[in-house]
Amino acid sequence: QYTRGTVTAFAPFDARADAEALRKAMKGLGTDEETVLTILTTRNNAQRQEIASAFKTLFGRDLVDDLKSELTGKFETLMVSLMRPAYIFDAHALKHAIKGAGTNEKVLTEILASRTPAEVQNIKQVYQQEYEADLEDKITGETSGHFQRLLVVLLQANRDPDVGVDEALVEQDAQVLFRAGELKWGTDEEKFITILGTRSISHLRRVFDKYMTISGFQIEETIDRETSGDLEKLLLAVVKCIRSVPAYLAETLYYSMKGAGTDDDTLIRVMVSRSEVDLLDIRQEFRKNFAKSLYQMIQKDTSGDYRKALLLLCGGDDD
């Protein structure tokens, strides 16, 4: 399958040799971090799983456990994230976002707004298999109000397929949104939830253009004015992802590093989950929208082995 990822299958690949090199790097006093990060960032996820299997066969040890005991901090988190099977990555992130006290709405928003219906179906299945729990039940137990309703709509993964655009319906939806927001005292959030959560991508892109013509505003401006809190963030994320998922994730990465302190969880999650999908497109959007490259921002904002590994995942500078 054609991807726009920065990480592809490594050739010539030898799982046994990699397993031996990793064992040697972590054995005895001190760890050779350079070897660990070079191997894990340059093999794709399927190859990393083969390495883990060879590691267990050769040494009777669990590679992830060894990484956890030999590495620390953000670097450890990044390496362990790279070892997580790709199909389980999003389910695991969601599980941790709704576990324990307090919910991480940011993670729910980012994943459910940016994944395709097929990906959402897959996440739900994996969640059920791995955690013996229903993802929708878990999410509705931890959220409320219109924010919860839009998440539930997205979890149904029933967006209309992209099969041509009906201009009459475009006009109708744009008018409905205009009346539900700008023209109304208070906002009819339900209309926004239904239309943004169920119509096809190409249809909605036309609706946004038409909305601009009718109201004189971008739909984002209306959402910004008419809603607030978690619902506002989720509606904006859905709109941005309909316009362009790579642009939305580029912005997510930018804000994870902008200003004081870095949101390392977000930085790691996006870099790892998109490294084999569309990180090249994300880099392009980043360069276009923020007047600097993703590579430069990571370089400036991180340090040590953590920085080295992220830069290898980034796969190059765009300046």
Amino acid in the structure at residue 52? A
Q: How does pLDDT run across 253-275, given as a tens digit for each residue? A: 999 999 888 999 999 999 999 99
State both tokens at 176: 């409905």
Tell me the per-residue pLDDT of 218-238, one tens digit each, with 9 for 90 and over.
Answer: 999 999 999 999 999 999 999
What's the whole-model pTM score? Answer: 0.95
What is the arithmetic mean of pLDDT over 142-152?
96
- pLDDT at 2 exceeding the cut of 70: no
The pLDDT score that the predictor gives to residue 146 is: 96
Confidence of residue 102 (pLDDT cuts 50, 70, 90): confident
How high is the mean pLDDT of the chain? Answer: 95
pLDDT of residue 183: 79
Average pLDDT over residues 49-56: 98
CA 249, CA 36: separation in Å to the nearest integer?
A: 27
pLDDT at 99: 86
Tokens of 100: 């324990």
Mean pLDDT confidence for 157-183: 94
pLDDT at 318: 87
279-283-285-286 Cα dihedral, nearest 10 degrees? 130
Average pLDDT over residues 33-45: 98
Are 124 and 154 contacting, i.e. CB atoms less than 8 angstroms apart? no
The owner of tokens 């340059």 is 42
Which single residue is written with the structure tokens 């990180």?
Answer: 279
> Taking the C-alpha atoms of 213, 215, 219 and 224 in order, what is their torsion angle to the nearest 10 degrees?
160
Is the predicted pLDDT of residue 23 greater than 90, yes or no? yes
Predicted pLDDT at 290 = 97
d(CA 228, CA 180): 15
- For 162, residues 6+ apart whose C-beta sits below 8 A from its C-beta are 200, 201, 202, 203
Q: What SS3 class is residue 171?
A: helix
Yes or no: say if 289 and 251 are a contact pair by the CB < 8 Å rule.
yes
Identify the architecture of domain 167-243 in CATH. Answer: Orthogonal Bundle (1.10)
The second-level CATH assignment, the architecture, of 15-85 is: Orthogonal Bundle (1.10)
| 116 within 8 A of 76, measured Cβ to Cβ | no
Least confident of 49-53, 114-118, 183-187: 183-187
Q: 177 CB contacts (<8 Å, ≥6 apart)?
A: 191, 192, 195, 207, 211, 219, 222
The confidence band for 205, taking pLDDT boundaries of 50, 70 and 90, is very high
User: Mean of the pLDDT values across residues 7-20?
Assistant: 97
The residue-averaged pLDDT of 299-304 equals 97
| 245-314: CATH number | 1.10.220.10
pLDDT value for 104: 94
Rounded CA-CA distance 88/131 in Å is 11
Confidence of residue 1 (pLDDT cuts 50, 70, 90): low
Q: What percent of the chain has pLDDT over 70?
A: 99
Give CATH 1.10.220.10 domain extents, the chain. 15-85, 87-156, 167-243, 245-314
- Looking at residues 107-117, what average pLDDT do you find? 97
Asked whether the predicted pLDDT for residue 69 surpasses 80, the reply is: yes
For the domain bounded by 87-156, which CATH number is listed? 1.10.220.10
Which of 84-93, 139-148, 181-190, 299-308 bottoms out in mean pLDDT, i.e. has the lowest? 181-190
Question: Percentage of residues in the chain with pLDDT exceeding 90?
Answer: 91
- Which of 290, 298, 296 lies closest to 270 in space, CA to CA? 298
Mean pLDDT, to the nearest integer, of 154-183?
A: 94
Distance of CA 22 to the CA centre of its chain: 28
